[in-house]
Amino acid sequence: MARDYEDKENKDDGGGSPVADVWDNTHLNGTEADSVMKEIQNACESADLTVANYQGAGETFYQLAQAMAIYGMGGAEYHIDTSPTGAGFTLDPAGSKVSPPAYFTGMTVSFVAANTCFINPTVSVNGMASKIIIGSAGGSLAANAIRQGQFVTMRYNGTFFQLMDEGISSFVTAGYQIFNSGLILQWGADAGLTAGQSVNFPITYPNAVFGVYPTDHQGSSIAPRPFAVHSILVGSFVLTSTVNGDNSLWFSVGW
């Protein structure tokens, strides 16, 4: 049943005199008014607000505005990932929030990944059909492109959900950067030994190492110290130097 939200206006009473504040034609009946008030209450409660008393302590006339502000500032954007594996992410609304009933272009969701993703992961929001996730540049996602515990934001483009962030990083002396394409950069500072020093990467490369590139951090401009690497594995490499204990800065690339 269509609801008729009418404004009051001045009307002629038939005798030439205006009658103030009468309804234009039909107004909301009791059932319809109750429905409107229930929808307003639901909007507030779904925004995790406790509906205040009509009178007395806690009375406020701005709770609908507060609920609108919560939703308008992304309150329904954040979801809880309940997926059992990294093949696909299963997202449910957080708290009492109400999620859209269907996907729409521009729809944005965010969540903390419960698992590290497999290759070409999917996402299902609020029980709707699964959609493939692609990288920010539009390409397919490699395995481990989304890591367990990573805060992820993505937007629906009408066909796929596209990541909006650029991977995850660890900005420390021995750190790494994971890009959504699957490319991984790692770096560190370690001492070499003439017999070889085993060095572990900050994280293990899921697939392969393209190269490790050491540089001198011990000698001077007139007496540089050479370094070399060998026995490169996805989790470690061996660093050698001409003098035991010489320090090297190194950089590596892989995926």
Report the share of the chain in percent with pLDDT over 90. Answer: 32
**Locate tokens 């070399």: which residue?**
228
Is the pLDDT reported for residue 14 higher than 70?
no
Least confident of 47-56, 95-104, 177-186: 47-56
Report the share of the chain in percent with pLDDT over 70. Answer: 76
Closest C-alpha among 211, 251, 206, 247 to residue 232: 211
Judge residue 241's burial from the number of C-beta atoms within 10 Å of its C-beta, 0-12 exposed, 13-18 middle, 19 or more buried.
buried
The whole-chain average pLDDT of the chain stands at 79
pTM for this model (two decimals): 0.56
Instruction: Please report which confidence band the pLDDT of residue 133 belongs to, taking 50, 70 and 90 as the band edges.
Output: very high
Higher pLDDT, 242 or 133: 133
pLDDT of residue 242: 78
